């Protein structure tokens, strides 16, 4: 995990997520990289449904079959 002083805030992307820039490599990234639903173009209702299923301690494969 990078330290806070290693990054600076940039503008927000079209979806409204905050963007950051690494001062070492100049890579720009959003506030949610490497999360399980990152860059999944799903409707909000489906994301909520998936989160509810995960909260009930379902496994990933059955959730994938359900959705």
If the chain, 67 residues long, is cut into consecutive pieces of 10 residues, what is the mean pLDDT of each piece? 72 85 86 72 84 83 81
Tell me what pLDDT residue 27 has.
Answer: 86
In terms of domains, do 28 and 41 share one?
Answer: no
**DSSP alpha helices (H): ranges in 12-43?**
none
Same domain for 29 and 19, yes or no, is yes
Whole-number pLDDT of residue 3: 55
- Host domain of residue 62: 35-67
Please name the residues in contact with 36: beta carbons below 8 A apart, sequence gap of 6 or more: none
Tokens of 21: 């820039």
User: What's the total number of domains in the chain?
Assistant: 2
Q: What is the pLDDT of residue 56?
A: 84
Same-domain status, 43 and 66: yes
Percent of the chain surpassing pLDDT 90: 0
* 5 and 21 fall within a common domain: yes
Q: Are residues 13 and 25 in the same domain?
A: yes
């Amino acid at each position: 995990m990078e330290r806070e002083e290693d990054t600076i805030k940039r503008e927000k992307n079209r979806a409204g997520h905050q963007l950051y820039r690494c001062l070492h490599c100049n890579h720009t990234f959003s506030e949610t990289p490497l999360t399980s639903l990152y860059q999944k173009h799903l409707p909000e209702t489906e994301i909520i449904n998936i989160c509810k299923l995960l909260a009930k301690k379902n496994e990933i494969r059955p959730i994938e079959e359900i959705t």
